[in-house]
Chain A
Amino acid sequence: MRPILLSGHERALTQVKYNSDGDIIFSVSKDHVVGAWFSHNGERLGTYHGHQGALWTVDVDPTSTLLATGGADNTMRLWEVKTGKLLKTWEFNTSIKRVEFSPDGRQLLGVTEKRSGHLSTIVVYEIIPDPEAEQTDEQSLRIVCDESKATVAGFSYLAIYIIAGHEDGSVSQYDAKTGELLFNTQAHEADMQITDLQWAPDRTYFITSSKDKSAKILATDSLEVLKTYTTDTPLNSAAITPVKDYVILGGGQAAMDVTTTSARQGKFEARFYHKVFMEEIGRVRGHFGPLNYVAVHPQGLGYCSGGEDGYVRVHHFDKPYFDFMYEVEREQANL
């Protein structure tokens, strides 16, 4: 598995995403630039300029028509993927930590940071999936997180719920129509921030990663913890692989501690765990800073990771990856 190194960013990567076809990778970084890359060879497709601050988040709609980004310049922006044209800018009081489209691409969600008198909120806009259309300024929903600030959020299947992960390690389920808090559970250790939340392909379950050095799979309906993956390092990201039942975890020593220790013990590796058996099956080295995000190809053909070191590493899985099976899985497959 020889990775392709995307070295187009000048500062730490904050999020990387595949589009639904898996042929394009979008990357955002603290250098204010959004990048788009061909996933199969790492060639740069283009960049999206306009943001005035570090970027925290990116998402692409299911038809690869619209791209949403959010960053430290307190704006959330909508772009046309094909042309790089800025379609819409929404302004806020604080920075945008997370954006995500609903499964049908007709709603866009943003998570705002808590700062200087402004509480953290989750806002939702109705989106017209047409680059020519005028997008609305009106929020269809606004959820205020007064307990603990939201760090990550996303739409469940059919956009019934909005699931959010919080700074205090808890996970909340909101009604996506009314914004009512339905349920909150302390999924991770108290006061250990949830750093990422990524969905399974059908959005009936999701994986959260946390600074408490673990990642967990929760059921969307019940918020029941189904699986727990324990590691020895704070985690920044976790992804679920389609096709094979694996999860990929990324993290490493907090960026501020890195200079005081050797790269050897930074634990800057992508870790593969078996999703069902919760056992570690492998690690991929390469980054020399913590991994800030891992994203999986929607057809499960590869994955890419964005690191604090400013690089995106794109990996295409080899045959042994697909061939590997536990004894009991083989039994199951032969039934």
Chain B
Amino acid sequence: MAPSYENLPIDDDEFDESQIDFTDIEEQYQVRLDEGLDAFVVVDGLPVVPEDNRAKLVKFLLRKLNSVGRVKDDGVFMPLNDEGKTEGYAFVEYNAPSEAVQAVKQLHGTPLDKKHTMAVNKLTDIDRYGREGRIEEEYYPPEIEPFQQKEHLRSWLGDSDARDQIVMFRGDKVGVFWNEKEDAPEAAVDRDNWTEFFVQWSPQGTFLTSMHAQGVQLWGGKTWSRQKRFAHPGVNLVDFSPSEKYVTTWSHKPLQVDENHPVPHLSLEEDGKNYIIWDIATGKPLRSFTTIDVPSTTDAEGNPVKKKMQWPTFKWSSDDKYVARMTQGQSISVYELPRMNLLEKASIKIEGVMDFEWAPATPKRDGIKVYEQLLCYWTPELGSNPAKVGLMSIPSKEIVRTRNLFNVSDAKLHWQSEAAYVCVKVDRHSKSKKSMATNLEIFRVREKGVPVEVVDSIKDTVINFAWEPKGNRFVLITTGEIPAQAAVPPKTSVSFFCPEKAKGNVVGNFRHIRTYDKKNSNAIYWSPKGRFVVVASLQSQQSFDLDFYDLSYEKPKDEKDEKDKDLTANLQLMNTAEHYGVTDIEWDPTGRYVATVASAFRHHMENGYHLYDFKGNLLREEHIDRFKQLIWRPRPPTLLSKEEQSEIRKNLRNYSKLFDEQDLAKKNTANRQVVEQRRRLLQEWLAWRESMIEMLKEEGAEIELNGGIVKKEDGETEETEEVEEIVEEIIEETEEVIG
């Protein structure tokens, strides 16, 4: 039985607390007592006026001060000096401390006229920070730290074997590994408790992001040292700008920043905000925002629909120059970087706007020479106005193209990676609103006048769509009507599309290549280099298929399919694999390998990963308890020019010969090492066994040497017994019908 509180032994050790010097701790954790002066503010920077004009100035001042709260009657005290003039400051008492706080927040730094700017501070703060001894009387120039050479942040790209890195989060450990194909990945770094929630790479792979309750940390360089730290208590999500200049952090809880809750780098400005946009180079916040509440909608039965939060909320233009956020149904606010000011000081009003997406690359429109970024948005049917899809050029805010659509129930915007096309997937209902169909409206952004091509041959609902990266082919998955309360998800079909062959340097019309029916697939993962695509069934209880397709399969000449000869694709299902419990699929940035992950974030069955090559051959599988994440380290865009790239492609055969030799050599040395190791183990073992047998002989251990067989006492004449065993075997069976 545990001793009760009363019976706890009293610590007899005499201990004199007064002997300890607590002053340093007291200073650090000084508690600000409520002094009853919280409703006072000190207004400084006022004009110096003679006594006669004081009343006038007070009256003028009160107009400003009363805009945030109520100043007490006779609450302004403006002292006079010996010459009968004011001192240029005043003490003001508000009715409540909260009003004083508001006054400091809103009025501090307000210009009064050209010469005078009002400084509003809390009286307690003046006392606290301006007290004697707190401020050095003499000026010391700040010490400039000597220059320190920083680590190269892209050293991993210089790997002699051009291997890629993977971050793996398993259990409480986070490690970065070199991909070794079928062999165990080689650890570059492996740390316990590196992150609290998850890890994430920056878009060009420079930084590894770890998420903590206090904020976000960026790691990088060869020694994986901390590069930056962004304090954002309670942070939930993080999003980088495409060129890694800025980062957005978001927490569902509004920030609390005040003097009792100081946060490094954050000021009162950030109090109550949810989003912070940071400059990565300086580690300082640029601007913060609160969450805009999405007006709750109701479904057909009048039940409130839970809105999924859109992430990223702040969407970056491809060159980091703009970031935009939508206020659903009203407007899009575009901010210019690095100042984070609203473009032309106003949000762009677009009535009813439902969604928008930036072009993922700087568009190259026909005949357009000036700099621009494009964004695409759509609005639903409003009253008698049709639904609309629009393309807007930024910064001119000029609408480049719009298209009217009818009977729209939902739309999704899909940009092609080079901003050559944007496909609007339009879910349309029939007039009776009973059946659904999908149209694809493809805007050819690079062609003159941005022509729109419509693919409306799709009967079923499209549940997924994906463009080929850097290409012009696409895959979509359709499903039939979903019967209500069906236990089994309906079968899906996977369809492939590509442009027709056309004369000259133009892209032909999009044509259907082939459809694979009766699939369970629901996810599309293109190789980042295009051509190859994995179509998978994720988040399913029954099926875990992975289908590997090649869209430029080189068939032997004589087998050429006449039917597909005018298409710019040659589709081939290369391989089918299954990974039980797969939840995520990750292509490596070079498009050579695919990792499939069964993450413990989603379930606890056979967590681990499989590694395939692009053809769908399984290279490696590993089961790891509580395996959570596997992400390939992205690579920055290539520095080679188009010509240099095509030169390499032309000489690929020579290069690959070299690589094959390297691979072979590596394998041979590895094999030799393994064989050597085995030989050593075997020799050691045999030597040990020999010594043991020798020892047993010396000890006279007959039974043991005889394999544990005990000779019977009277077994001098070992009687042998013959055991006969009859084995019946049917050699042939014939059936005869008699009579």
Contacts and interface: CB of A to CB of B under 8 A. Distances in A.
Interface of A: 20, 40, 61-63, 103-105, 157-158, 201-205, 219, 226, 232, 242, 245, 261-262, 264-265, 275-278, 298, 326-329, 331-332
Interface in B653-692: 675, 678-679, 681-682, 685-686, 688, 692
B682 A276 contact: yes
B675 A276 contact: no
B682 A332 contact: yes
A329 B699 CA distance: 30
Contacts of A264: 580, 605-606
Contacts of B709: 20, 62
Interface string B704-731: 1101111010000000000001000000
Contact of A104 (B695, B703, B705, B707): B703
Contact of A157 (B606, B682, B696, B712): B696
Contact of A204 (B605, B606, B675, B692): B692
Given A103-B704, A277-B681, A298-B707, A328 B688 contact: no
Nearest to B625: A232
B675 A20 contact: no
A135 to B, nearest CB: 18
Contact of A205 (B623, B692, B703): B692
19 contacts: A20-B708, A62-B709, A104-B703, A157-B696, A157-B701, A158-B704, A201-B704, A202-B693, A202-B701, A202-B704, A202-B708, A204-B692, A204-B695, A204-B696, A261-B605, A264-B605, A265-B606, A298-B708, A327-B678
Contacts of B606: 264-265
B710 A62 contact: yes
Contacts of A298: 707-708
A217 to B, nearest CB: 10
Nearest to A276: B685
Interface of B: 580, 605-606, 623, 625, 675, 678-679, 681-682, 685-686, 688, 692-693, 695-696, 699, 701, 703-705, 707-710, 712, 725
B146 to A, nearest CB: 49
A328 B675 contact: yes
B205 to A, nearest CB: 32
A158 B699 contact: yes
Contacts of A265: 605-606
A232 B699 contact: no
Nearest to B699: A158
State the main secondary structure of chain B at its contact with A: helix
B678 A277 contact: yes
B203 to A, nearest CB: 35
Contacts of A278: 681
B704 A157 contact: yes
Contacts of A261: 605
Contact of A202 (B623, B625, B688, B696): B696
A328 B695 contact: no
Contacts of A331: 679
Contacts of A105: 710
Given A103-B703, A104-B710, A328-B675, A202 B682 contact: no
Given A242-B707, A264-B580, 10 more contacts: A40-B725, A63-B710, A202-B704, A226-B688, A261-B605, A265-B606, A276-B681, A276-B685, A327-B675, A328-B675
Contact of B605 (A63, A104, A262): A262
A203 B704 contact: yes
Contacts of A329: 682
A66 B311 CA distance: 74
A202 B692 contact: yes
Contacts of B710: 20, 61-63, 103-105
A293 B699 CA distance: 32
Contacts of B688: 219, 226
A226 B580 CA distance: 36
A327 B707 CA distance: 27
Most buried by A among B625, B675, B701, B707: B701
Most buried by A among B675, B696, B704: B704
Contacts of A158: 699, 701, 704
Contacts of A219: 688
A200 to B, nearest CB: 9
A205 B688 CA distance: 11
Nearest to A261: B605
A104 B711 CA distance: 9
A232 B678 contact: no
Contacts of B692: 202, 204-205
A327 B679 CA distance: 9
A335 to B, nearest CB: 11
A20 B710 CA distance: 9
A103 B708 contact: yes
Contacts of B681: 276-278
Most buried by B among A20, A204, A261, A275: A204
Contacts of B679: 328, 331
A324 to B, nearest CB: 14
A242 to B, nearest CB: 7
Contacts of B705: 202
